[in-house]
Structure 1
C-alpha cells in the first residue's frame, strides 16, 4: 500500500462516512462471515489485505474481522481459569427499544436482523446474566476484531500499576520510560496520556500529510515504507512535537494509547501481552483466547487490533461492575480505579474543546459529561463507553450492573444510537 493511501485511511474512529457505505464499496453480505471463504478467497485476502480495506469497509474488512491473526503477528492469551458461565435471564423488551438510525426509526430487533445493518453480534448482560443476545452475522464463539475498543485495556493496566504504587499519574512519562527522555513525550504527565490530552501533534484527525505522526505510525505497524523508509513505532513517536499544552482538551489519538504500552513495559519489565495475561486475562473465566495483534517489530498494538469473542468482551466490561466476581477470581478493577474513571476532574468544557462533539454526534446523545482513561464518553450517572472502527463497542453501567457489547462491519456507528436508550429504559433500574 502506498504512503498516500495510508494517510487517507488512518483514523479508526474519526473518519465520517455516509451510513452503510459498504453498498458503494461492494462489501459482501454479512452472512458471508457465517458461510465462510474459499481457499482462493482466503489466499487473496491474506496476500492483499491493507488497513485501507478496514476504513473503506471493503469485502476484505468482513474477512479480517474474523481472521486478523492470518495477517498480523499475534500473541495468543489462552484461558487460564475454568469458564465462568453467564446464565440466561432474557428480557424480551430489550429488543423493542427504538432508535433513530440511518435505516429509519427501528426497534433493536428490527435493526439487528436487517441485512443493511451489517450487525454481527450484540449482547446485553445484567447482573451477570445474559439479558439479550443475538448473532446475525457471526458464530457466537468466533473471535472478532475489537478495533479501538481495546484502548481501554491499556488504561486498565496503567491504573493497576497506579494502585500498586508503581506509577504516580502526576509524574511525567519520561520519569518511567527512558526512551522518551529528550523527546516531546518526556514531560507529558501520565494522567494526560491516560486522558488523550498530551499536547503533541499526534491527533487522529491529522490526515493532511502522508508523513504526519499518525500516518507514519500506521505505516510502521503494517511494515510499510514511508518515502522508501521502514520505521518502527518508537522512532515515529519520538519525532512528535509540541502542539498546545498537555491537559487542555480531549484530542483523540491512537499514538497516545501506544505511549501507555511503552509505559507499561518500562515499569513491568515484561511484554505488554505477558503482563496483561498475568494481571487480567488469567483471572477471568473466559470462553476463548484473546488475540493481541503485534507490529512487525513485536509491539502489542493495543490502540486497535485485538480479537476476542463477544461474551468475553462483555466479561471484560463486567470487571467494572458489581458482578465482577461472577467472571473473575480477583477484583481486577479496584474501587479506586473505578472512582478515578467515573469522577474524573475532566470537565465538559475539556470534552467540547476537543473531539467530544463528534463522539456525541455518533451516540445521538448530547448529555455526555466528558472522556477519560481512554474511554470515549462518560455520563453524569457514571456510565461509560468505548467505540471502535466499523461499529464495535463496549458500554458499561456500574450503577445498573449492566454491560452491552457488540460487533459489526459498518462504518457509521449506527448501533451506538441504541446504547443510552437501552441503559435508561427503566428495565435495569
Structure 2
C-alpha cells in the first residue's frame, strides 16, 4: 500500500472516531476558529498548499478551514454572479433563540450561544430566517461576506434540478439511467431507476461508509480523487469513467445507501437531458432569479463536471436563500417561484419506511448526529423528513440546512469540524420551540 493510500485509509477511519479524545487532540493542533476571521497569512497559505491532499482535507483541521473558505483558489470554478436586483433580507433579531439548549456530544448541555463561542466547537456561522426575516445571526469564525463550502448540504441542488426537468416533461423518475444516458447502457447503472438514485438506494457500490471511506480503491475515494485532480495509482481519472466502474451489489430500493457518487449520477443525468452544464442550468433557471448577497460558486472537476454533491460555496445568507426557495417567503429572495408545491409534495410523500432508513449505514449515523429518532426517513437527497414536513440536510464537516415550509423557517450554518458535529442537535429544538408556530 502506498503512503498516500495509507493516509487515505487513516483519514477515512478518523471520520468515525468522534470521541472526546479526538476533540481534545483537535484543540491542541488547530488554530482557534476566530483567528481565521482575519484571513490567512502567506506562511499559512504556503503550508496548506504544500500539504493539500484528500486525507488532510478529510481531517477537518486548519487546512480544511482554508480549503472551505478559499475553494475557488484551488479548483476550477463556475461563478454564478447575481443577475437580478439585490433583495435584502429584513432583520429582527430575537435573542431568545440563542438561549435554546441541546445536549451536545462532548460538552454537556449548552445553549446555542454557548456552543457557537465554545473554543472546541469550531463553529463558523449560524443563521435563522423566519418569514423572510433574519431573526438570529452570528459569525464567530468568518465574516458575513466570506464564502464557505456547503459540503453535502449542496446535494438537494441535484434533486431540485431533476424535479425541474420532471416538471418540464424531460425526465420520468420511473425510467432508468440507461434510457436517458446511452453511454451508461453497458454499465451496472443501466437498469437503475431515477427515483432510486434520488433516494440514495441504487444497490451500487457507490455508498459512503466507514469501509469505503477507508478503502483507497473504492468508488467513493476514486470519485473524490478525480474531482480534486489527484492521481489514483499514478493516473488522473475522469469522474464519468470512475462512475462507469461502479458495480451492482444489492437489489435497488432495499436500503438507504448514502453516497456522493450516486448524487453525481444526477449531475450527469441533468447535463445529458438538458444539454447544458449543471451550473449553466442552475444559473439560467434558478439563481438568475435570486436577489442574492453574492455569487454562487460551483466548483468543477478538471474535466469540467460540477461537483454538486458538495463542492459549492456561497455566503451564509445565500445558503439560507436556497432554503427560502422551499418556503412561502420565496418571493422575498426570488423573482420567480422555483420550488413548486408539487416538488415539496414529492419530497414529503416519497419517504420510504423507517426500516429502510435505519438498515443503511447513514440512517443510524443521522439519528445520532441529531440526537433525534423521530424522523420518518430520507427523501430526494434530503437526509431527514419529519411528520411535520420539516427537511434537513447535513454536510460532511458540520455544515447544515434545515427547512420548515409550514413554519416558513430556514436554519443554516457553516463549520469545519470533524470531532463534534453537535450544531445539528440545535435544529429540532429551535424548530419545535414554539417561537415559529404563528
Deviation at 1:353? 1.6
Is 1:38 the counterpart of 2:45 in the alignment? no
Deviation at 1:375? 0.7
Matched with 1:2 is 4
TM-score (normalised: structure 1): 0.96
Structure 2 residue ranges without an equivalent (≥5): none
**Distance between the aligned counterparts of 2:145 and 2:54, measured in 1?**
25
Matches within 5 A, 1:6-25: 6-9=8-11, 15-18=16-19, 21=22, 23-25=24-26
Deviation at 1:16? 4.3
Matched with 1:351 is 357
Deviation at 1:225? 2.1
Deviation at 1:53? 2.2
CA RMSD of aligned residues (A): 1.6
Match of 2:430 among 385, 403, 422: 422
Matched with 1:317 is 323
Matches within 5 A, 1:288-327: 288-327=294-333
Match of 1:399 among 377, 396, 406: 406
Is 1:142 the counterpart of 2:146 in the alignment? yes
Which 4+ stretches in 1 moved above 4 angstroms?
none
Deviation at 1:23? 4.6
Match of 2:181 among 153, 177, 183: 177
Matches within 5 A, 1:99-178: 99-101=102-104, 102-178=106-182
Is 1:66 the counterpart of 2:69 in the alignment? yes
**Distance between the aligned counterparts of 1:229 and 1:271, measured in 2?**
25
Structure 1 residue ranges without an equivalent (≥5): none
**Distance between the aligned counterparts of 1:209 and 1:186, measured in 2?**
25
* CA separation of 1:48 and 1:256: change in aligned 2, threshold 3 A: same
* CA separation of 1:20 and 1:321: change in aligned 2, threshold 3 A: farther
CA offsets 1:11-41 (integer angstroms, 9 cap, x no match): 99x6342258365241111012112222222
**Distance between the aligned counterparts of 2:16 and 2:157, measured in 1?**
23
* CA separation of 1:67 and 1:73: change in aligned 2, threshold 3 A: same
Deviation at 1:368? 0.9
CA offsets 1:53-89 (integer angstroms, 9 cap, x no match): 2321221112112111111111111001111111012
Is 1:92 the counterpart of 2:95 in the alignment? yes
CA contact (8 A) 2:128 2:410 kept: yes
CA contact (8 A) 1:22 1:57 kept: no
State the secondary structure of the residue aligned to 2:178.
helix
* CA separation of 1:389 and 1:345: change in aligned 2, threshold 3 A: closer
Match of 1:226 among 232, 237, 242: 232
Deviation at 1:43? 2.6
CA offsets 1:283-322 (integer angstroms, 9 cap, x no match): 1110001111111111111111111100000000000011
**Distance between the aligned counterparts of 2:64 and 2:242, measured in 1?**
26
**Distance between the aligned counterparts of 2:145 and 2:22, measured in 1?**
27
**Distance between the aligned counterparts of 1:90 and 1:257, measured in 2?**
36
Deviation at 1:139? 0.3
* CA separation of 1:233 and 1:45: change in aligned 2, threshold 3 A: same
Q: Which moves more between the two structures, 110-119 or 401-410?
A: 110-119
Deviation at 1:352? 1.4
Q: Which moves more between the two structures, 286-295 or 207-216?
A: 207-216
Match of 2:195 among 177, 191, 194: 191
**Distance between the aligned counterparts of 2:429 and 2:50, measured in 1?**
42
* CA separation of 1:19 and 1:149: change in aligned 2, threshold 3 A: farther
Matched with 1:216 is 222
**Distance between the aligned counterparts of 2:21 and 2:310, measured in 1?**
22
Matched with 2:388 is 381
* CA separation of 1:335 and 1:16: change in aligned 2, threshold 3 A: farther
State the secondary structure of the residue aligned to 1:192.
helix
